[in-house]
Amino acid sequence: MAATPMIPQLDKVLSTAPLGILQLDSGGTIVWANETVAGYTGRTPEQLIGRNAETIDEELRRLFETPDTIFLPDGESGPGYWLMRNRQALHDNSGYLYYFMNVSLLQELALEREELRDQLRELISTDEVTGLPNRRALFQKLEPEVSRSRRYNNPLCIILMQIRNREELAQEYGEAAVNRVLLAIAQMLNDQMRWADSIGRLDDDHILMILPETAIDVTDQLIGKIKSRLEAIDRSLEDGGELPPMKVEFGSAQWHKGDDVALLMERAREVLKSRSNAA
């Protein structure tokens, strides 16, 4: 003879299950709660039964609300709980079962991973394509140069170089081909710089040159030299063809008394924009 299910034992198993469980009637009122979900809320099952989204304590209303991953603060100043919720309708349309899985550890690991990624981004100071200093590293170099000019009134110039057709070339010829030419351009620009100068890739389309102890007329000479050297850059492709020339434009600016980094960069961008519009 088959054994008859033992309801009292089943109730005990569900009450202490590792999943939090709430049973709601068709009107959304809690009619049963296990000890696990009660522990998450800092209440007893009896304190939850008979409550709904309108009558339950305010901090517990998120049990009923979206999204499906919720955070319940600990009423005793503990770390609280991250819970993943799943809702299931009862087969007779008499209500719902809510299941709550404690994913606090997974959430903590995800947050730690994001923090580590942010820290890694902060530590990385080199552009992957050109090997030049990236935006973060560039501004770390420019800030002290501006401070030095403020203190001693030393001349300081910057050159902002824009590659205007990089994206179009990448779409037609591929990123790899464009990146090879960008690397060659970076090496050429490095050869033009003095030991005191700094050069780096500000973003995908812009390269920044920082020129301490330099007057604005010297930047014009340097830009002319760079333009002529760009024409000699090897743009050969693996299939025997040649990548079209990269369309570049330059904007330069000299530090003026009272300038900070933002103002200096803004003036260089304005010059770059006016020259681009005129081209």
CA 228, CA 193: separation in Å to the nearest integer?
15
Helices (H), ranges, the chain: 7-15, 35-41, 45-48, 104-123, 135-152, 166-173, 175-192, 216-230, 261-278
The whole-number average pLDDT for the span 217-240 is 91
Ranges of each domain in the chain: 7-107, 127-278
Q: Is 7-107's fold the same as 127-278's?
A: no
pTM of the model: 0.59
- CATH level 3 topology of 7-107: Beta-Lactamase (3.30.450)
The tens digit of pLDDT for each residue in 173-200 reads: 999 999 999 999 999 999 989 999 999 9
Cis peptide bond upstream of 67, omega within 30: yes
Q: Which residues pair with 81 in a beta bridge?
A: 72
Question: Which class does domain 127-278 fall in?
Answer: alpha beta
The tens digit of pLDDT for each residue in 121-177 reads: 767 788 989 999 999 899 999 999 999 999 999 999 999 999 999 999 999 999 999
The tens digit of pLDDT for each residue in 59-114 reads: 899 898 877 888 988 756 567 899 999 999 988 888 999 999 999 999 889 889 98
Q: Do 243 and 225 meet the contact criterion of CB atoms below 8 Å apart?
A: no
Q: Which of 188, 209, 200, 177 is nearest to 128 (CA)?
A: 200
Average pLDDT, the chain: 89
